[in-house]
Amino acid sequence: MAPAYLKGMKPSARVLILSTISFTLLFAVWLMFGVLGVPIKEELHLDTVQFSWLTAIAVLSGSIWRLPLGIWTDRVGGRRLMTLLLIATAIPTLLVSHATTFSQLMVCAFLFGIAGNSFSVGIAWNAAWADRDRQGFALGVFGAGNVGASITKLIGPALIALVPAGGIGLLPGGWRGVPVLYAALLVVMAAMLWVATPTPDRHPGSGRPLSALLAPLREVRTWRFGLYYVVVFGAYVALSLWLPAYYKRVFGLPLAKAALLTALFIFPASLLRPLGGWLSDRFGARPVTYAVFIGMLLACVPLAAPDGALGFHVGLAQFIALIEVLGIGMGLGKASVYKYIAEYFPNEVGAAGGLVGTLGALGGFVLPLGFGYLDKSSGRPESCFWIMGALVLACLVWLHTVVSGMRRRNTMRVRTLVVDAAADQVGAGA
């Protein structure tokens, strides 16, 4: 039975609030090695490539199950699956605190990485409950749970510094205390979600054949949306993991300040998602996505250029400002991409959203590895923005090509109608 303070809320509001809180926590766990990986790297003497794999393996696990879980949510409902994910994530998260080798941490990261799949569960669940004219906003609010990536950035360094090396009671000292705290919160959240969300749940895919649910996968536009999502979400995940070490290496900042500046990037990239959903509801997904790609491309140019190559120096203040532009674009763009999905595939959000989410999250797995290998081979820390700029440009070109083709077809259709009408008038006069 729902707590008293939730009884007066609409069922859709309860689903939105509790799923968003759950997703925020799960997202924090999913990307916790972005900060914890720094002291782990020092403790285990990992090189750049090993560090890249440690942060990327959890992202891989949080990517590969998104499509089946999205479809499964449409069939059995999000209440069961979100609760199951919270409990299943708590166990390997706790085990992280006992890991002592790189191999053990890799195994734990792959297991707790299932937390990342909560996105496709929550998207399909909220799409089933939200009113059609409010879907963009609702999905944007849920997606703002991406801000969970900033939680470890904010509390991690403080906990590491405040908790004595010997720990306090059941809470171990150093970086190992963070996963213990998260494991406890995951169990508490699972209980709250199960008790407070509405029953019976909605599952729009129940009874429909699997082939019907998978129909969006045969359309090219679904894969195009997936590439867009690599830029606005995959790159967001990659930078959330990469920036703390980047700030420390390039600008010589301490971990606490590097983590705080990374959190400043995460806030707009997450919290502006509801605004992106509202703008997409009001003006359409296409103009919002256009503006996002143009803004991000303009920011990538000075970030990718060697220092001084454009006639000016990109210092810390300029770097932070440009990163904020990327974060704003990502926050708005994540919502506009999923507004596309709700418009084109209203009855297959689980499958279409699952595939797009999978592709985006796989981008979050591949990009940190690409950053690491390119950095190692080129010796240029800004090389990560070479990849970013190329991806944004590819998406902008593809979007413009599609829109131009649509305009040409519409023009031809209008011309045909005018010619037919003129012919009819001539025939009538004869």
CA distances from 188 to 73, 90, 184, 367 (A): 22, 10, 6, 33
Q: Please, which pLDDT band fits residue 212 given cuts at 50, 70 and 90?
A: confident
Stated length of the chain: 430
Q: Each residue of 82-117: pLDDT tens digit?
A: 999 999 999 999 999 999 999 999 999 999 999 999
Q: Is the pLDDT of residue 353 over 90?
A: no
- The structural architecture, per CATH, of the domain 9-203+210-429 is Up-down Bundle (1.20)
Determine the average pLDDT of the residues in 219-232.
92
Given this model, what pLDDT does residue 41 score?
87
Q: Is the pLDDT of residue 414 over 70?
A: no
Whole-structure pTM value? 0.75
Cα–Cα distance between 392 and 359 in angstroms, integer?
A: 15
Q: Which residue, among 392, 116, 147, has the nearest Cα to 265 in the 3D structure?
A: 147
Residues in contact with 52: Cβ distance below 8 Å, sequence separation at least 6, in sequence order: 368, 369, 371, 372, 373
Q: Is the pLDDT of residue 430 over 80?
A: no
Determine the average pLDDT of the residues in 403-430.
65
Q: Each residue of 187-198: pLDDT tens digit?
A: 999 999 999 999
Given this model, what pLDDT does residue 416 score?
66
Q: Is the backbone of residue 307 left (phi > 0), alpha (psi -120 to 50) or beta?
A: beta
> Positive or negative, the Cα torsion across 360, 228, 36, 306?
positive
Q: Is the pLDDT of residue 79 over 80?
A: yes
Q: Which residues partner with 171 through β-bridges?
A: 168
Q: Is the pLDDT of residue 140 over 70?
A: yes
Determine the average pLDDT of the residues in 376-399.
93
Q: Please, which pLDDT band fits residue 18 given cuts at 50, 70 and 90?
A: very high
Given this model, what pLDDT does residue 259 score?
87
Token pair for residue 298? 């303009």
Determine the average pLDDT of the residues in 150-155.
80
Could you tell me how far CA 177 lies from the centroid of its own chain?
26
Token pair for residue 147? 């801000």
Given this model, what pLDDT does residue 9 score?
81
What mean pLDDT, rounded, does the chain reach? 86
Q: Which residue, among 92, 110, 56, 87, has the nearest Cα to 180 in the 3D structure?
A: 92
Q: Each residue of 245-259: pLDDT tens digit?
A: 899 999 999 988 998
